[in-house]
Structure formats: structure tokens, C-alpha cells
Amino acid sequence: MTTPTEPYVLNIGPQHPSTHGVFRIRVVMDGERIQDIDMIVGYLHRSMEKLAEERTYTQNIPFTDRADYLAAMSGNLGLCLAAERLARVEVPERASYLRVIFAELQRIASHAMANGTLVSDAGAWQTPLLYMFREREKILDLFEMTCGARLTTNYMRIGGVAFEPPPEFWPALLELVDELPERISEYEELLTQNEIFIARTRDIGVISPEDAINGSLVGPALRGSGVPWDLRKAEPYCIYDRMEFDVPIGRNGDVYDRFMVRLAETRESVKIIRQAVENIPDGSHKTDIPLALRPAPGEVYGRVEGPRGELGFYLVSDGGPAPYRFHIRAPSLINLSLLRELARGASLSDAVVTLGSIDIVVGEIDR
């Protein structure tokens, strides 16, 4: 005869390592199993979208650094592409190549953080995390030597990029892309056949292709379920239509597949960077625009494939120097929406690994 249990409430967060940011989960437990969860956000809300309506389009670029603060280059690029469409600004070809190089470096750095912390959540302690941070640090060094910042880069500009990379950037970049494939193989050797890691991730947090599509999931969370959707292929921007690369997908839609998709995407990013470096033309890194750009009245939605998926910017212009409306479509918020269904019936430790595999950044959830 089993002893009946009384459900109890457990609060995780708002400050807790497993929440990956200032984010609270109210969990109703029945014994060791999760009966229900409530996800409580807003602890990091800064009224970013409303504040953006009082600043010029260029002045709003630093806001994107502080939304997804692990992928500042991607946020910079998304806003600049939207503003350029709204104002019909042409971008020099060299600037488009530079944008792609920095966007793909940012993807590698972000995936290193996501996979490193996921492995740590699964109980692998610190070694794989520090190994992946090793590569991330080298990328942040490249950012720093180019624009003076490592995290909040503020590098992209409407019409191009802020600075031409210094001469020492290019040999350091080539050295990094030469060693990355071997490093990725090392991670695969360490983890992909590790029986403990497999036990913690296989058939955990399974998202079917139908649920992924119906939940509007994007990025590795969607591709891990076997849906080959990537904006760089489906709706190419910059010069992605000239690049040869694959879109990795999973088969089971579990935590393991989402990990493997991110790992495989780092290889594809290396391929893209190599092609961009080999083919980058001479020319200007930026088109000159007025300090207070005044696009004609209208509206536009611009989007890029960030590390967490589709990152969109909706801008409305009334002809003034500041956007009349500024809205961010944050992939972390959309991808988080399925956590409740995934966590029900699971153990608390499995729910923590599932949350880690979704790879949220609370800065863009709250904004």
C-alpha cells in the first residue's frame, strides 16, 4: 500500500542558478514529481520598449545589447536591419560581410554558454563549462579589440558597422576558426557518448514537431524537434544567400537533440566565417546617415536568426527622429511558453535540465 502524499509548493528563484537569470518558478510538487508550475517573470523589467520611443533610432541600439545580453551583436543587427528597411538605407557590401562575421562569432559564443551551462545543470560539474568558456573568451577578445567592449558591444550601426576591425583582428580570427573544429570534436568525444549525460538528457523534455510549430518555437528549440527552419536559409539577409552551410536538426526533440543542434551549429558558423573572410571585398564599412534619422511614416518588421531563434523588431515611424512604436519579438519568451507542459509529471531535476536546454535570457523576456 502506498502512502498518500500532500502536494506542496516549492519556489525556485527569483535568484537561483537553475533559473539562468532573475526568474521565478512556483512549482507544485506531489512527492518527487511536478504536478504543476507557474512561471513568474518581470523582475528584470526596465520599460525598454517605452523608453525607446523617446530616443533616436541610433540611440536605441544600446538597448538591444541589454535585452539578450549574451548575443548583443545579433540584437544590434536585428534593429539596424529593421531601421534600414524603414528608412531605405543602403548598406555597403563590406559592411554586410563584417556583420555576418560578427553575428556568427556571437552565435558560437552564445552556444558555448548555453551548452556549457546545460552540461553543468546535468551534473557534469565545471570542466566542460570552463572548456566552452575558453572559446567564448577568445571571441569576446575579438569583440574587445574591435569595438572596445566584450558584452554590450554597441557595434552595429544603421548603414553598416561602427568601426573597421584593427589589423591584428584578422590573424586572431583565423587562428580561432582554425582551432575551433578540433575543439568541437573534443566536446563531442567528452559528452555525446557519456552515459551519465545521455541518461540525463535522452527522452527528457521531448517536444514533438507539431507542438514546436503550434507553440511558435524558434531556433535550436524548434530545429531540435526536426523542423528545418532557419531564417538565414528561409529568408536570407545580409549576404547569407551567398554562403554554403547546413541547417542541423534533431530527431527526438529532447534535451540531447537541442544540445547536439547547438554543437553542430557552431561548426556551420565556422564554415560561414571562413567563407566571409575569404570573400570580403574592400570598401567602406558604413553609409553616412543623418545624426537624427527621420524615416518616412510607415511600419516595418525586421528579423534575424539569433542564437535563440527569430529575433524580430517592429518599428513604426511617424516621420520624427524617434520611433512612434518599438517592439521586440523575443525568442526566449516564446520558447519558454512550453515549459509548463514539459515539466508536468517530470522530476524536479529533469525540469531543471529541460529549462537549461531551452536556453532563455531573462533580459529579453522582461525587457
End-to-end CA distance of the chain: 51
Q: Nearest-5° angle of CA 308, CA 312, CA 315? A: 160
pLDDT of 164 reads 93
Contact between 38 and 32 (Cβ < 8 Å): no
Residue 57 lies in a domain: yes
Q: What is the pLDDT of residue 17?
A: 80
How many domains does the chain divide into? 1
What mean pLDDT is reported for the chain?
91
Q: 255 lies in a domain?
A: yes
Domain region containing 201: 43-366
Mean pLDDT of 99-127: 89
pLDDT tens-place string over residues 151-203: 999 999 999 999 999 999 999 999 999 999 999 998 888 888 888 889 889 99
Q: Is 182 exposed, middle or buried (0-12, 13-18, 19+ CB in 10 A)?
A: exposed
- 302: in domain: yes
Q: Name which of 150, 143, 157 is nearest 61 in CA terms.
A: 157
Query: Residue 246: its pLDDT value, please?
Result: 93
Query: Average of pLDDT values for 200-216?
Result: 91
Preceding amide of 181 cis, omega within 30: no
Residue 38 counted as domain residue: no
Confidence of residue 15 (pLDDT cuts 50, 70, 90): confident
Q: What is the pLDDT of residue 2?
A: 60
Whether 36 is in a domain gets the answer no
CATH number of the CATH domain containing 310: 1.10.645.10
Over residues 247-283, the pLDDT tens digits come to 999 999 999 999 999 999 999 999 999 999 999 999 9
* One-letter amino acid of 43: Y
Residue 26 lies in a domain: no
Q: Amino acid identity, residue 35?
A: Q
- Distance, in Å, from the CA atom of 152 to the CA atom of 64, rounded to the nearest integer, reads 9
Mean pLDDT for the stretch of residues 202-218: 91
Q: What is the mean pLDDT of residues 94-121?
A: 93
**What's the CA gap between 134 and 112, in Å, rounded?**
9
Residues sharing a CB contact under 8 Å with residue 343, sequence separation 6 or more, in sequence order: 27, 34, 37, 351, 354
Entry pTM: 0.92
Q: Are 64 and 150 within 8 A, CB to CB?
A: no
So what's the pLDDT on residue 296? 93
**pLDDT score recorded for residue 124:** 76
Share of the chain above pLDDT 70, in %: 99
Question: Hey, is 89 helix, strand or coil?
Answer: coil
- Measured from the Cβ of residue 180, the count of other Cβ atoms closer than 10 Å reads 19
Q: Is residue 59 assigned to a domain? A: yes
**Backbone phi and psi for residue 226, each to the nearest 5 degrees, phi listed first:** 90, 10
What confidence tier does 295 reach under pLDDT thresholds 50, 70, 90?
very high
| pLDDT tens digits, one per residue of 298-331 | 999 999 999 999 999 999 999 999 999 999 999 9
Please give the average per-residue pLDDT across 230-251, as a whole number: 93
Q: Is residue 236 part of a domain?
A: yes
How far, rounded to the nearest angstrom, does the alpha carbon of residue 270 sit from its chain's CA centroid? 17
Per-residue model confidence (pLDDT) at position 4: 67
